Amino acid sequence: MSDKIAFITGGNRGLGFQTALNLKGAAGVVIGARNLAQGNAAVEKLRQAGAEADVIEFDVTNPAHHRAAYDYFASRYGRLDILVNNAGIAAASFATPGPEHSAAQVPMEMLRRVFETNFFSTVALTTILLPLIRKSPAGRIVNLSSHLGSLTLHSDSKSGIYHAKSFAYDASKTALNAFTVHLAYDLRDTGIKVNSAHPGWVKTAMGGPAATMELSEGAKTTVALATLPHDGPSGGFFHLGKPLPW
């Protein structure tokens, strides 16, 4: 593959697939897919588009898959240059009223399930892969967040998302943003950069058909953070090159 190797979790469709496509020419991409048949189909499309791509079976909530991913990159490349923590879930449709959207009513099982995917498993995977990222001359970690994780915007009655609250999802992204800040601090004396990306309201299975952004535009922030130059930022929260408030 190319000089740089990227791993994108949940990379067989939506923003993950588009990110893999947009990284064409900048890095060889390995996508993680829970369904290997769907992953192989996605890789075929990527290769037809001229991308260097491969796939591994990967469920971010499965610790055995974390270790298998480490073994894959360690044995084949000896390092990992780019980690895009893209895999994530919502408790339910944002357009459908339900208890998952309310801090006062959210079922604990649902809250734990969303956090397991969007936060705990992402932290666990990153921790396992970090020794390989340290071996990269320019490691990059991108955490797919959302402006719905911004406490500043949610607490501002004049904000465009003030009434767009879905507690389980929003809180998981707030926690992910905290991980970005703390991990960037831990790695401040290295060449590794860690940032959170808000892709925008994108037309995906999660975003829905009413979303205002196409996939190609939605992947721009992630790709930019995955390919930052050596003097680029770390420990930030961005959308299309602009910083967002925590």
Can you give the pLDDT at residue 93? 73
Residue with tokens 């939605």: 218
Instruction: Give, as one character, the DSSP assignment of residue 6.
Output: E
pLDDT of 116-135, one tens digit each?
Answer: 999 999 999 999 999 999 99
pLDDT value of position 204: 67
Pick the CATH number of 5-243 from 3.40.50.300, 3.50.50.60, 3.30.70.20, 3.40.50.720: 3.40.50.720
What are the domain boundaries of the chain?
A: 5-243
- Please state the pTM of the whole predicted model: 0.94
The single-letter DSSP state of residue 85 is: E
Q: Are 147 and 244 in contact (CB under 8 A)?
A: yes
- If you compute the radius of gyration of the chain from its CA atoms, what whole number of angstroms results? 17
Backbone φ and ψ of 100, nearest 5°: -65, -20
Residue 218 — very low, low, confident or very high, per pLDDT cuts 50/70/90? confident
Distance between CA atoms of 43 and 22, rounded to whole angstroms? 14
- Please count the helices (runs of H) and the strands (runs of E) in the chain: 9, 8
Residue numbers annotated as active site: 169
Q: In terms of DSSP H, where are the helices of the chain? A: 14-22, 36-48, 63-76, 108-115, 121-134, 151-154, 167-186, 215-218, 220-226
Check whether 211 has a pLDDT greater than 90.
no
The mean pLDDT value of the chain amounts to 93
Give the model confidence (pLDDT) of 89-101 as tens digits: 987 776 677 887 8
Confidence of residue 202 (pLDDT cuts 50, 70, 90): low
Strand partners, 160: none
pLDDT in tens, 15-65: 999 999 999 999 999 999 999 999 999 999 999 999 999 999 999 999 999
Q: Which residues pair with 9 in a beta bridge?
A: 32
- For residue 203, name the pLDDT band (cuts at 50, 70, 90): low
